[in-house]
Amino acid sequence: MRNSWFLLLLLFGEVPAFAQQQVVSVLDSNVIKTLFFAGLKDKMNENYPKALESFNKVLIIDANNAAAHYEIATLNFRQNKLNESETAAIRATVLDANNLWYWKLLAELYKRKGDMEDLVPVFDHLIRLAPENDAYYFDRCNALLLSGKVEEALKGYDDLEKKFGASDALKQARQRVSMEKKDGMGKQEVSKLISEDEDVKSLLYASSVLLEKGQHADALNVLKKARSLDADAFEVDLAIADVYKGLKKYAEVQAALMNAFENPEMPADQKVKIVMMMLNGTRSKQLANEATELAKIAVKVHPDKPGVMALYGDILFRQGDLNGALAQFNEVLKSTDQIYQVWEQVLNIHTTLGMHKEAIKVADEAMSIYPNQAILYYYMALALENEVKLDLTLEIRFSFSAQTHDAGDRSELSQPQISLPESLG
- Residue 407 pLDDT more than 70? no
| pLDDT score at 172 | 73
Name which of 158-167, 177-186, 285-294 the model is least confident about.
Answer: 177-186
| pLDDT score at 132 | 94
Q: Tell me: the pLDDT tens digits for 328-387? A: 999 999 999 989 999 999 999 999 999 999 999 999 999 999 988 889 998 998 888 887
Q: Tell me: the pLDDT tens digits for 239-253? A: 999 999 999 999 999
List Cα–Cα distances, 47 to 40, 44, 50, 283, in angstroms. Answer: 10, 8, 6, 19
Name which of 140-144, 345-349, 393-397 the model is least confident about.
Answer: 393-397
| pLDDT score at 183 | 62
- Which residue type, as a one-letter code, is found at position 275? V
- Residue 158 pLDDT more than 50? yes
| pLDDT score at 415 | 38
| pLDDT score at 411 | 41
- Residue 422 pLDDT more than 60? no
Higher pLDDT, 298 or 47: 298
pLDDT band at 390 (very low <50, low <70, confident <90, very high): low
| pLDDT score at 275 | 93
Q: Tell me: the pLDDT tens digits for 162-184? A: 999 988 788 878 877 776 666 66
Name which of 93-102, 182-191, 340-349 the model is least confident about.
Answer: 182-191
| Phi-psi region at 280: left, alpha or beta (left = phi > 0; alpha = psi -120 to 50) | beta
The residue length of the chain stands at 425
> Mean pLDDT score of the chain, rounded to an integer?
82
- Residue 316 pLDDT more than 90? yes
| pLDDT score at 91 | 97
Question: Which domains can be identified in the chain, with CATH numbers?
Answer: 188-266 (1.25.40.10)
Higher pLDDT, 218 or 402: 218
Maximum average pLDDT range among 110-119, 188-197, 279-288: 110-119
- Residue 58 pLDDT more than 80? yes
pLDDT band at 420 (very low <50, low <70, confident <90, very high): very low
Which percentage of the chain shows pLDDT scores above 70? 82
Mean pLDDT to the nearest integer, 46-75: 93
- Rounded to whole angstroms, how far apart are CA atoms 25 and 23? 6
pLDDT band at 25 (very low <50, low <70, confident <90, very high): low
| pLDDT score at 409 | 47
Higher pLDDT, 119 or 408: 119
pLDDT band at 7 (very low <50, low <70, confident <90, very high): very low
